[in-house]
Amino acid sequence: MTVKTRKIIRKPVKRSVSKKQYRVVMAVKVGPFVSKSAAVTVANQVAKKGIAVQNLTKAGKGYSFTTKVGYKCASASVKKQVIAKLKAYAKQSGMPASAYKITA
């Protein structure tokens, strides 16, 4: 008695996974501070928490700097939700619209 066998060849399944990511960046102006040393102290504390600190400048009222936080989003709908939550948080915390900027 002979048994016939067949070799089964399995091909790898290709799944179309979108690797495109959306990036949302929120920049917040922090200040004014009366002295440069106070601004530098706060900027160092913010930097220790992993938030990017940029542009320590002197304006008319005192010293200020800009912080930037970035978020990666997997889809456009998630990006819209992140932007809406950031705007809601800024409004809830009493931040004026001129103090922050959201770019996507």
Cα–Cα distance measured from residue 71 to residue 2, given in angstroms and rounded to the nearest whole number: 64
- pLDDT at site 60: 83
Q: What is the dihedral of CA 80, 81, 87, 93, to 10 degrees?
A: -170
Return the structure tokens found at 52: 């990017």
Handedness of CA 43, 44, 50, 52 (dihedral sign): positive
Q: Is the pLDDT of residue 1 over 60?
A: no
- pLDDT at site 11: 72
> In the chain, count of helices (H) and strands (E)?
2, 4
**pLDDT tens profile 37-69:** 999 999 999 999 888 998 888 988 899 999 999
**pLDDT tens profile 11-40:** 776 666 557 789 999 999 988 899 999 999
Angle at 103 between CA 36 and CA 68, to 5 degrees: 30
Its pTM surpasses 0.85: no
